[in-house]
A and B are shown apart, each in its own frame.
Chain A
Amino acid sequence: MKLYCLSGHPTLPCNVLKFKSTTIMLDCGLDTTSVLNFLPLPLVHSPRLSKLPGWISKDGSINLEKELKECAGRVFVDAQPEFCLPERELLDLSTIDVILISNYHCMMALPYITEHTGFTGTVYATEPTLQIGRLLMEELVNFMERVPKAQAATCWKNKEVQRMLPGPLKDAVDVWTWKRCYSMQEVNSALSKVQLVGYSQKVELFGAVQISPLSSGYSLGSSNWIIQSHHEKVSYVSGSSLLTTHPQPMDQSSLKNSDVLILTGLTQMPTANPDGMLGEFCSNLAMTIRAGGNVLVPCYSSGVIYDLLECLYQFIESASLGTTPFYFISPVANSSLEFSQIFAEWLCHNKQTKVYLPEPPFPHAELIQTNKLKHYPSIHGDFSSEFRQPCVVFTGHPSLRFGDVVHFMELWGKSSLNTVIFTEPDFSYLDALAPYQPLAMKCVYCPIDTRLNFHQVSKLLKEVQPLNVVCPEQYTQPPVTQSHRSDLMLELQPPPMPYRRCSVLSLPFRRRYERVYILPELANSLVPSEVKAGVSVATVSAVLHSKDNKHTLQSVPKPPPVAPSKKRKRVIEEPPVTLSPKPLLSGAVPLEAFLATLQKHGISEVKVEETAEGHILHLQAEDTLIQLEEDGTHIVCDNNEPLRTTLRDLVLRFLQKL
């Protein structure tokens, strides 16, 4: 059993598990942090961004004026943003049988894997994961295609050139694998390969393994996966949460008794408690609005935003923000808000019950009804006529490199009354803000990450008791910035097996058993004999038939009866007589009793010698040796066949025959 690790990002994993002749890809996350190296894509012409000076190395030897621009003391690539894809050279992606998706954040690289690689398999995901994942992909494509940028920048990727570049660009890794965003067509094609599954539904893969998604409590339809054969069980835990937010709670008990547990997607903010952050978010928001400023919340169009809106719904009254407009701007804003209301079976119990009442499960419906929350596909169109300040705007993309958020950053960045509140933990907020410096706007960092923290995960592992744990190497040591925090790492016995990008791990457990079926008629013919209380043994002679990873024992086919021939008798070649095998012996020869029997048979002069393996009996008068060992008995006697036979029979008396 092997694990191929194609992504180094612990929360955007992409691993391939080879298990019993199947090749299973676990998630395919897209590392979008690479876009931070690119200039923002403004929706409206920005004089500031268009007049940036090109970059020329100090000695003038390298001139990349066209590709690189200097902005606020840093160098950015002036081209359409590119993403860092999962590793594609480590194994042949066309051999992948299935891809299991655990949540909509972990499927953004799907088109890169399923298209143009020869992939012919199936993708499994839950319905909300597929639908919301589609929304996020659509949004991404929309963001990119709305502001087309023809030019591609490749010169800077030259190794020699990159080495000379300043700042973070110099240290960017695998830049040659970076790719531009996929097209809508590719998205549709990729998603057409998705097969929907429900929680705890069991899917057979080639008869070899069974896969089954479990609720992971992190987002709508998010799941952990169980991959099991008859005798082995692998659990894949990715992006799980024990907090009581909107999704169905995490199913922990089904993870018990795993041979291997692959653990990814822990919180990226182990020191920030989501509740505290939510409080921080609300108070900063209220503070800004009271002072007459606007609040900008760069966020994804699904996920934490539901919780933020719910929290604000309760907070608006108490903070007397009733008259402040809230805007949610995204190409998929409407679908996201509406989808969330219809996935009843994927919601937490509390919200599920509301589905049967005349009230929607999420309170944002009421915010919309009362006109407190308005949503628009983009800043163009209706929004511009309705726009009223001070206000709160939720919009993407959280990297601040593309999407409507770029416009608001340009619009509001100059006033210290305004505040940008970061809630998504995926991007470093300082890096995100870099091209907008100098910035007068206040910045608040309230990353809300509801995924498991180290305390919760160690409790979980204590409960489910996996034999082996595999996890990204980042989880096996404390964060670099807090090297003393031994509580911010996984401490397990035996220690977890770490992986990094491009690792290939041999998972430390051997398959020792395989289930074999016996046909009824064959089973009928068996004659079990009891070797000890409760254990019966029978010998079986059969033909092993293996097909589709199913093994069956069938009776040995009888030779076809010889057709009676009226013709001249001919010597028919008899089929080789299958000799019935010699009976199997079991048991041990008890020394005392054996000696007594020997005595009865007139052999009295016996010298017993103890050896490491058993005993050697020296029959002195007969000049014969009997070696009694645990797994064999030897009678050494020269030229006295009758004696040997007698002795043999005496030994056999003490053994059971099958």
Chain B
Amino acid sequence: MDHECVLILPRVCEVLAASGSSLPDDTSLEKLLDWFTTITQTGVSLLEACPCLLDFLSNVAFNSTSGPSILSFTLKLAGLIGASEDGFKVLEECSVLGLVFDPRHWQEAGLWEDPCLRIGWIQGLKTILQHSKALRFFVQAGLIEPLLHLQTDSSLFVASAANQMLAHVLLLCESLSSVGCNGTKERDLEQNSLSMETNQNCSGVITKALEYLNKCLVLKETSQLSQSQQILKLLTQLLVQVRTPLLDKLLLTVIDSVEELVTKSCSQLTLPLMDVVLAANSRLSDDHDPKQRIGRLLSLMLNRNNPVDVIQAAAAWLRSRQYDPVHTAHCARVLLLPLDIVTGISLLDENSTAEELRILMTEQLKSKTCFSMICVCLTNIPQITLLAPDCLPCPQRRIVSAVLSLLKLCCGDTSSSSAGCVGVFRFVTGSSKVQKCSMEALSALSKSPEVEILLPEVFKLLTEYLNSPSSDPSVLQKSYQALINWIGVCTDLSCITGLLREDLIQAVRKRACDMRWEARDSTVEFLGHLAEVQSCRTSAGEEREPSNSLLGGCSFTVPLLKEALQDLESYVRASSISALGQTLTFSWQQGAALTQDQVEIVTRLQEILSQDSEGFARRAVVKYFIAWFSSCSSPTSCSLLVQSVPTVLSQGVADLDWEVKLHTLELAELLLDQAFPNPAPPHPYAVMSHQSHRIHTQDKESELLSSLNSLVDRGVISALFCFLVDCDRPVALKACQLLLKLRHTVCPLMVSAADTRVPCELPGWSWVHEIRKIQGVNKDPHTQGGSHIGSEAHGEAVEESTSAEGDSVCLCVCEVLRSLDLDERLSILTQSSDHIYNSPLSLLQDIITASTANSHPNSEPGQEVIVDCY
């Protein structure tokens, strides 16, 4: 621990105990507590390290005039100190313990009303309860009662913390008593009696807690609903965590009450009850006694009379991923039932679902609740598609048909579902919520077996949606996604007729001019994604990309995307740039000759990079070049690419957006990797004569030299140097890493530095100054005075060139690489940028400063400086 901190801490304690209201910001107490926690985690005793804390505790506890946040902090701190047995002992001796954790003390002071204090009490107590002594204290002070009382506290946060606390107490009791049972034989009498006592304490606490749970579970009136929900949550928590003897005991105690709740069938409790039942069911093995009863409860839940409840319960079962052939099949049927009723497409085998449920659900679907029911059903279709065929009442193809039919209903077309439930039509027609859920379900169903045959139908419907003027942008986006999913899965697109394709082309063309930018954006994205879909078979039986066979390939896509480059909305511009990248990837990989279009695109992209006011578009441009460079079969042979890279790099350096800069560095990395490919590991047994080794080294050296020169020519090296001194830490870090890599590759081999000078030009003096500063600071503090001296001191690493522009400067690469202490730089950059401002010392200083500022009468509250940082 920092010595300075120890010195300053007593003063901080004083400040906190005195006022407490004048904290620099409301998180400072949390930060302080975090710091204390890290100290204890390193195994240091907090009281030994900072003895002043004890005074602080007793001071605050006995005065109780501090604000609630300070009191809450004090309670938590007491917990932290008491978590170790030694600390606990000290606290007990100075009688702080009993006082701070006594609820009556706070009630009398009128402070218990504040939820802040109650939270502090709970959390402090929870931290302290780590050992048997603490448990003994807990029992003797009779704290279980107030804790139980807090379980249904009016503050949701307090109640939730109390729940966790109770679970913690029970788990502690469980672990302590099991230790007691196993370890008694070898211990002496005293310890034996101690563990006897612990055991007694444990069983006492457990009995009380369980009784309480059981009592609270039963719903006496509807006003207590939230209480029951809270208790059910707690129960779920416990069921998931506790182990066998306690688990059995717990279940035995509460199962009657749970059963009562289940039979009461209160809709609001369906989900929490289902959680309890599912948790119990998963924890119990088949030979457990209560397993059967739990199984019965589960059946009860899944067979309730209220359709909304049943659907929720069934969805919960499928989500829990538990498997039981009967239940799973039943749940699948329940979840498919609304779809069956609405569309009239029979998904369920005859007489499989109770006719009663069908009637009830049909009625329910005619009201506004149909939205939630249909949507729950649709959102669970991905789960259903994962089920084994024998759990499903029908082949998945039929489910696809039903979803298609529902989507048709949504746009007012009822031709396909004459048998459906007419009462629902008026609700689902035009509902974009149902449309979105259906589209997602349709996407999920694309991966189902044997559905390929439905592709033309799916294709037709999705095209209709894309064409429909009333489709919401979000629905359009989902339609595009569904289309991509289906096209991606289907290997044979020969079933798509020319007419359908024509419709799709029309729709895409129209949406590319849509008024809503979201629609234009989705369209452009779609074109990009489509280009990435794996090849498929066309009607003629040949292998082609779907983009070619559906839309006519680049000749259709590229002009549309080029147009989108001019879009007013920056998102659309950015999407069109990446879509262009995706579309052209194939031709890049093939090494095809550049078209006039591509040349124009490059010009336009460079304009965007240099002029666009929005970062998204500029980032996309750099990524485009990355994609081009990395997918190009031989980047060096593509002259346009080779020409553009230096421009991109230099513009990337000048950009203000740190992400653009980072992407530029990625491009630089690609160039580095290309210039210095990872050498194949030499054959371990290869014999190499000294002579050949020398020649080899010389060869390598000249090879390296030329690579390095080409990197300099392309502007990679100067970009790296500029980025190294960038004010954005991630950029500088990445540049530093790359330069280290470069040094690692280049410097060991370039021994004869003098005659292999590789000059590199930097775009301006300011960068050189920055770099010199690093050199100066790191290496030569005495020569910081003049930049010239600095450069001379390092073997003339920097040369001034008086070029025509007058401000470009030459550096000597290898020299600079050697002279810069990149490792030191890396370690600085790796630290988070706020490592200075966030240190415990600064925190403590802040607290003190704030208190003095506050006590100063002249300070005005309005004058505080609000620092805007991101």
Distance in Å: Cβ of B428 to nearest Cβ of chain A: 11
Q: Verify if B145 is at the interface (C-beta below 8 Å from A).
A: no
Bound-state Cα–Cα, A347 to B430, Å = 31
Q: Which residues of A contact B296 (CB under 8 A)?
A: none
Q: Which residues of A contact B425 (CB under 8 A)?
A: 484-487
Q: Mark B513-551, 1 if CB is under 8 A from A, else 0.
A: 111110000000000000000000000000000000000
Distance in Å: Cβ of B466 to nearest Cβ of chain A: 12
* Contacting pair B509 A287 (CB below 8 A): yes
Bound-state Cα–Cα, A286 to B513, Å = 6
Q: Which residues of A contact B289 (CB under 8 A)?
A: none
Q: Verify if B200 is at the interface (C-beta below 8 Å from A).
A: no
Bound-state Cα–Cα, A286 to B566, Å = 14
Decide: A278 near B515, CB < 8 A? Known: A283-B510, A284-B510, A485-B426. Answer: yes
Q: Which residues of B contact A286 (CB under 8 A)?
A: 513
User: Residue of A at shortest CB range from B417?
Assistant: A484
Q: Verify if B422 is at the interface (C-beta below 8 Å from A).
A: yes
Q: Which residues of B contact A318 (CB under 8 A)?
A: 515, 517, 567-569
* Contacting pair A271 B412 (CB below 8 A): yes
Q: Verify if A609 is at the interface (C-beta below 8 Å from B).
A: no
Distance in Å: Cβ of A38 to nearest Cβ of chain B: 31
* Contacting pair B412 A485 (CB below 8 A): yes
Bound-state Cα–Cα, A272 to B517, Å = 21
Distance in Å: Cβ of B332 to nearest Cβ of chain A: 29
Decide: A276 near B470, CB < 8 A? Known: A318-B569, A320-B566. Answer: yes
Q: Mark B564-607, 1 if CB is under 8 A from A, else 0.
A: 00111100000000000000000000000000000000000000
Decide: A290 near B414, CB < 8 A? Known: A272-B469, A283-B513. Answer: no
B412 interface neighbour in A315, A317, A482, Cβ under 8 Å = A482
Bound-state Cα–Cα, A208 to B741, Å = 99
A319 interface neighbour in B426, B430, B470, B513, Cβ under 8 Å = B513
Q: Verify if A637 is at the interface (C-beta below 8 Å from B).
A: no
* Contacting pair A487 B568 (CB below 8 A): no
* Contacting pair B516 A279 (CB below 8 A): yes
Q: Verify if A446 is at the interface (C-beta below 8 Å from B).
A: yes
- Interface of A, secondary structure class, is helix
* Contacting pair B426 A279 (CB below 8 A): no
* Contacting pair A486 B426 (CB below 8 A): yes
Q: Which residues of A contact B792 (CB under 8 A)?
A: none
Q: Verify if B256 is at the interface (C-beta below 8 Å from A).
A: no
* Contacting pair B515 A283 (CB below 8 A): yes
Question: Which parts of B467-514 form the interface with A (CB within 8 Å)?
Answer: 468-471, 509-514
Decide: A446 near B426, CB < 8 A? Known: A283-B513, A287-B510, A485-B412. Answer: no
Q: Which residues of A contact B509 (CB under 8 A)?
A: 287
Q: Verify if A273 is at the interface (C-beta below 8 Å from B).
A: yes
* Contacting pair B422 A290 (CB below 8 A): no
Question: Which parts of B246-288 form the interface with A (CB within 8 Å)?
Answer: none
* Chain B: interface size category: 20 to 34
Q: Mark A276-308, 1 if CB is under 8 A from B, else 0.
A: 111110111111001000000000000000000
A487 interface neighbour in B426, B510, B517, B563, Cβ under 8 Å = B426
Bound-state Cα–Cα, A487 to B424, Å = 11
Bound-state Cα–Cα, A482 to B512, Å = 31
Q: Verify if B429 is at the interface (C-beta below 8 Å from A).
A: yes
User: Residue of A at shortest CB range from B560?
Assistant: A290
Bound-state Cα–Cα, A487 to B429, Å = 9
Decide: A287 near B429, CB < 8 A? Known: A271-B412, A320-B566. Answer: no
* Contacting pair B470 A273 (CB below 8 A): yes
Q: Which residues of A contact B568 (CB under 8 A)?
A: 317-318
Bound-state Cα–Cα, A278 to B515, Å = 9
Bound-state Cα–Cα, A317 to B517, Å = 13
Distance in Å: Cβ of A44 to nearest Cβ of chain B: 32
B513 interface neighbour in A272, A282, A317, A486, Cβ under 8 Å = A282
Decide: A272 near B412, CB < 8 A? Known: A279-B516, A282-B513, A484-B422. Answer: no
* Contacting pair B515 A279 (CB below 8 A): yes
Q: Which residues of B contact A320 (CB under 8 A)?
A: 563, 566
Q: Which residues of B contact A287 (CB under 8 A)?
A: 509-510, 512-513
B469 interface neighbour in A279, A317, A485, Cβ under 8 Å = A279
User: Residue of A at shortest CB range from B422?
Assistant: A484
* Contacting pair A484 B414 (CB below 8 A): yes
Question: Which parts of B153-186 form the interface with A (CB within 8 Å)?
Answer: none
Q: Which residues of B contact A487 (CB under 8 A)?
A: 425-426, 429
Question: Which parts of B399-442 form the interface with A (CB within 8 Å)?
Answer: 412, 414, 422, 425-426, 429-430
User: Residue of B at shortest CB range from A287?
Assistant: B513
Distance in Å: Cβ of A630 to nearest Cβ of chain B: 48
Bound-state Cα–Cα, A311 to B429, Å = 27
Q: Which residues of B contact A311 (CB under 8 A)?
A: 515
* Contacting pair B514 A283 (CB below 8 A): yes
Q: Mark A295-335, 1 if CB is under 8 A from B, else 0.
A: 00000000000000001000101111000000000000000
Bound-state Cα–Cα, A284 to B467, Å = 11
* Contacting pair B469 A280 (CB below 8 A): yes
* Contacting pair B510 A446 (CB below 8 A): no
Kindly list the 5 A-B residue pairs having the minimum CB-CB distance in the complex, ordered from nearest. Answer: A286-B513, A280-B469, A487-B426, A276-B469, A283-B513
- Could you give 26 example pairs across A and B, Cβ below 8 Å? A272-B469, A276-B468, A276-B469, A276-B470, A276-B471, A278-B515, A279-B515, A279-B516, A280-B510, A283-B511, A283-B515, A284-B510, A287-B510, A287-B512, A287-B513, A290-B563, A317-B568, A318-B517, A318-B567, A318-B568, A320-B566, A482-B412, A484-B422, A485-B412, A486-B425, A487-B425
Known contacts A276-B470, A283-B515, then 7 further A-B pairs from the complex at CB < 8 Å, ordered by chain A residue: A272-B470, A283-B510, A286-B513, A290-B563, A317-B568, A484-B414, A487-B429
